[in-house]
Amino acid sequence: MYLGTDERIQYLIPGMSLSINKMVAHPSLGPVLTVSGLKLEIDEEVPAVRAANLEISGDALPEDPYPG
């Protein structure tokens, strides 16, 4: 997958693919993140996953009035 000229990386989440030749190889024992059809097992639900979920769901928090 390639980024468009107006796109940027917002979240970096380490994960291990559960797919082999586009088929899920084994059931996951931990949380699973799906990105563009690719299922990734992550060690734990990292804050970046929660932030991405909030952004996608539209329940994002208001902008920080005191940005750093």
Q: Enumerate the domain spans of the chain.
A: 16-57
Which amino acid is it at 40?
L
**pLDDT at res. 1:** 61
Task: Write out pLDDT tens, residues 12-55.
Answer: 888 888 877 767 777 777 788 887 777 888 877 677 777 777 77
C-alpha to C-alpha distance for 62 and 60, rounded to whole angstroms: 6
Residues 20-46 as b/e (b if ≥16 CB within 10 A, e otherwise) read eeeeeeeeeeeeebeeeeebbbbeeeb
pLDDT in tens, 52-68: 777 777 666 667 777 76
What is the model's pTM? 0.53
Residue type, 60: A
